[in-house]
Structure 1
Amino acid sequence: MEPVGEVTLGEPPETVVGEWGFAADVITALGHGDTIAAMMDPSFWYTGFYEEIPGVPARDNYALPTLGAHDKLNREYVYELDPDLFALDPNRFITSYGLGESDLDAMKKGVAPFFGNHSRADRGDSWPNYPSGDSYQYYTIPEFVNKYGQVFGEQERARTLVEFYEETMDNIISKVPDETPTIALLSAFANPENFGYFGVDKTSPDNNPTYARKQYRDLGVEDAFAGEYAGEKSESEDLQIDAEKLAAVDPDIIVFREGIRFVDVDESNLTYGNLYEQTLDIIKSDPVTSGITAVKEGNLFVGGTDNQGPIINLFQTEMLAKQLYPDTFGEWHGVDETPASEQLVDRDRLGEIITGSE
C-alpha cells in the first residue's frame, strides 16, 4: 500500500492502533474489530450502526484510549502499548503531532509497522509525503478492504464483503431519480454563536476517489452552493456564510455533516456540548433562517461522518437516499428506526459476512 510500501507480518495483528475511524470500520467489517486497542481520536469513529447488525458486538468508541491530547503524541503510552500494527498513514503523525521522519523511522523499528493511506480527503500541496517525498495514489473502499484482508488473513471474507458492498451500492444508485432536490451540506459544529458563521462543505469534493463524502457523490445530489466556492478552503469548511446568505440560497434540504456522531451520545463525552443540536436550534429559531424552504418543510437531516469504511458507508448511503428521495427509497424515520421491510442494506447478510457465520 502506498505510501508505506510492502509490509510483512509474521501473523495477523492482535493489537491495532487506528486513526479517526476509517480503518477501524474496515477491520470491523473483516471480523477483527476487537483488535482495535487505541486511536488518534476515537470520538470520530461512529459505532452506532454496528448495533443494527446481528452478531456484531457493540463498541464504545469513547472507552478507547487516545494517543495523545490535541496536537501532542504521548510517545510513552504508544511504546508501552506496543501494538502490532499502526493502521494509519504515517503522514498523519507528521501533520497532527509534528513528528519528524526520524521519529517515524524509530517507531517502525521499535514499535510496529504502519499500514494505511490517507484517502479521506484531498491531501493538498503541503502534504509531507513520507517516506519517499513523492505524491502517492488514493484508494477506494473496496481496495482498502482487500488490502486489510491480506493483513488479517481474510482474503476470502474480503472478496465476499466487496461483492456484497458493490452489489448493494449499485442497487441503490441505479434507482436514484433524475430530478434531485438542492441540498446544503452544513457543518454540524459551526454556527454564528460559536464560530461566528455557518460552515458549508461541497457535496462532491474535487478529488473523486476520496471517501469522506462519497454518499453525496454517489447519489448525484445537487449542491445548493455550487458556483459559490472560490478561493482558498478554510481549515474546516469549504465556505463560511451568514444567515442572510443561507436564506438567499434557500436550499430544499439541509444536511448536517458529522451530525451522526452527536446522536444518542452521553453529553459527558462531548467537550463542547452537543453542537449539532445547537446549530439545528439556531437555524429553526433565527428569524432570518426560519423561513428557508428546508426549515418550513421539515427537511433538516442528520448527516454522516466523513470517516466511513464499508459498513458505515453502506448505512450512510441508505440514510441519505431516504432523506433525499423518500418516494423512491421510503421515508427516513431516524437512526436505527428503519423497518426491516424498508431497509436498503441487508443487515442479516452483512452480519453473516462479518462474523463468518454464512
Structure 2
Amino acid sequence: MSRENTTQEEPTRRDYMKYGGAVAVGGFLAGCTDDSSSGSEPEDSTESTPTATPEQAGDGESTPSATETETNTDEKSYSASMPPMGELTLEEPPSTWVGGLGFTADVLTALGQADGAVGMADPRFWYQGFYDFLDGVTVPAKDELTKYTTTERNTDLEALYDLDPDLVAFDPNPLLAIYGLDTEEAEEIQENIAPWFGNESRRKRFDGWTHWPVGESYPYMSIPEYIPKYAALFGEQERGQAILDLYEPFIEDIRSRVPEETERRTMALVNGRYNPENRDGWLVYNPKSEVEKTWGKKQYRDLDVTDAFEGAYSGQTSVKMGYEGLLEYDPDVIIFNFGITYRDFQGKNLIQQQRELLQDHPVGSQLTAVKNDDLYLGGTPYQGPIINLFQTEMAAKQLYPDEFGSYPGYGEIPEDEQLFDRGRLADIINGNI
C-alpha cells in the first residue's frame, strides 16, 4: 500500500495524526525518567514469561489530564496524554481504530465508538455478552474484526496496513514483549499507519516487559483514568463524564457495603481453562492485585475478598493444588477465572466439565463450595468500565448474598435486584446523555 502522494500540497488527516504522535514521544521522554513504577512478576503463574497466552497472561503516578482545545481558527483539535506514548493531538477524532484483547474496546464502546472497530490483536477475548443486557447497544461481531496477530505469535503488519486505521488503541509493549514486534516495526506503524495510544495495566508487568519508547518503566492506570483521555481524543467529554458519574459512585457504594471481615465468605479463584481434563491439579490464583491500579482482578480488590489460600503462594501469584490441597484450605466459594469466556469456548463448556470433576470426585465432593453448590463463573480480566460494572455486581452477589442479593446464575438479573442502572448506562452509550 503506497503511503506517498507527491501531488498533495495540503497536509492530510494522516499527516496530522503522525505529527501529533511524533511530538508526543519526544515530549514524554523528556518528562518520564523519574517514574519508578514497574512489574517484575506476573499475577498469573501461567503467564510468567513473554510466551504466555493472552487468555492466561498481564501503582504509578496519576497521568496528565486530557484536554480538548480550540485553535485560533475556531477549529477543534483533539488532544490527550497517556504513558508510554505521551501526548497525541489530532485534527479530527478517529473514525476507525484497532484494539488489543478487549479492554480498550470496552472503554470505546462506553464512549459510543464501538462502530469504529476494524481489528484487534485477538478479537476472541473481547467479551461481548454483557452488551446484550443494554437496550440499543450494538457492537461489531468478533468474526467481523481482523486479527492482527498470528498463530505463530507474531504481529501481522500487512493486516494493519490493509486495515489502515486512524488509531491503534493499544500499548505497543505487549506486542513487543509477546507478539514478535520489534522497535523498528513499532516506529513504522507509528509513522506510516496510525499513532499508538494505550497503556497495558491489566496486571503487574512481567520480567522481560519492554518500555518503548520511553526506555524506562511507566505508570499504571486505573479504569477511571482512561475514560477522560479517550473521551478527549474522540471528542466525547460529556459522555465520558457521564460514564464516570455512573461508574464511580457505584464502586464507592459497593466498597462501603462489604461485610466485616469475620462475616465474609472465603473464596478460591481457580483457572477456568486449565483443568477440564483432570490432568494435573487445580491452578488457584491469588485474587488480590499486587499493583493497586491494575484492572484484571479489580472486582475482587473492590470487594476486599477473603482468600482461602492466603499464605499458600510462597511468593508467587498462583499455586497448583490436588483435591486434597483444595480440601485442606476448603474455600466457601469457588470462582472460575475467565468463566464467562470458557463456558462456551470453541464449542465446549470447560466450566461445566470442571464442576462435574469436583462433584464426582470422592475428595472434591467434600469441599464446602461443592456441597453448597457455590461454584461460579468468574469474569474476564479484559474489563473496561461496562464489563467491570457487570462483573463487580456478579462477584458481589456470589460472595456476599446477604448484603447484595443472591446470584441467580449468568443472565439478566431482575430489575429490582440489579445494583446499577442498566437503562442509564445504555442511554449514555447510545448518546442520550
| TM-score under structure 2 length normalisation | 0.78
CA shift, 1:183, in A, is: 0.1
Cα deviation, residue 278, structure 1 = 2.1
User: Pick from 327, 338, 351: which aligns with 1:258?
Assistant: 338
The 3-state SS of whatever aligns with 1:276 is: helix
The code of the aligned residue for 2:220 comes to Y
> Does the 8 A contact of 1:258 with 1:303 survive in 2?
yes
**Structure 1 residue 277 displacement after superposition:** 2.4
Report what 1:28 is aligned to.
Answer: 109
1:85–1:113 CA contact under 8 A, matched in 2: yes
Query: Which deviations, in whole Å up to 9, do the C-alpha atoms of 1:254-276 show, x marking residues without a partner?
Result: 0000001134x4x6x45xx3322
Answer whether contact 2:276 2:353 (CA < 8 A) is retained.
no
Counterpart check, 1:149 vs 2:231: yes
2:298, 2:143 → 1: CA distance? 25
How far, CA to CA, are the matches of 1:278 and 1:336 in structure 2? Answer: 20
2:142 is aligned with 1:53: no
| Correspondence for 1:44 among 125, 137, 141 | 125
Report the secondary structure of 2:369's partner residue.
helix
Give the TM-score taking structure 1 as reference length: 0.94
The residue aligned with 1:139 is 221
- Cα distance between partner residues in 2 of 1:287 and 1:297: 16
CA RMSD of aligned residues (A): 1.5
Does 1:304 find its partner at 2:379?
Answer: yes
The aligned counterpart of 1:333 is: 408
Counterpart position of 2:268: 184
| CA separation of 1:356 and 1:224: change in aligned 2, threshold 3 A | same
Distance 1:134 1:123 in 2: 13
- Deviation per CA, 1:36-61, whole angstroms, max 9, x where unpaired? 11111111111111111122115432
Q: 1:195 to 1:113 in 2, by over 3 A?
A: farther
- Deviations 1:272-295 (Å, cap 9, x if unpaired)? x33222222212212221110000
Partner residue of 2:312?
Answer: 228
CA contact 1:51–1:58 (8 Å) conserved in 2: no
Matched, 1:173 2:173: no
- Indicate the larger mover: 277-286 or 251-260: 277-286
| Amino acid paired to 2:233 | V
Matched residue count:
349
The CA deviation at 1:192 is 7.0
Q: Equivalent residue for 2:18?
A: none
Aligned partners of 1:13 and 1:84 also within 8 Å: yes
- Alignment-mate amino acid for residue 269 of structure 2: L
**Amino acid in the other structure paired with 1:247:** L
1-side partners of 2:250 and 2:374: how far apart?
26
Aligned pair 1:346/2:421, yes or no? Answer: yes
| Residues 18 and 40 in structure 1, CA contact (< 8 A), matched pair in contact too | yes
**Comparing 298-307 with 4-13, which one deviates more in the overlay?**
4-13
1:2–1:137 CA contact under 8 A, matched in 2: yes
Distance (Å, rounded) in 2 between the aligned partners of 1:338 and 1:62: 28
Identical positions, percent? 46
Aligned counterparts, 1:55-94, within 5 A: 55-70=136-151, 71-94=153-176
Inter-partner Cα distance in structure 1 for 2:278 and 2:89: 47
User: Where do 1:199-214 residues align within 5 Å?
Assistant: 199-214=283-298
The code of the aligned residue for 1:19 comes to G
Unmatched tracts of structure 2, length 5 or more = 1-81
User: Greater CA radius of gyration, 1 or 2?
Assistant: 2
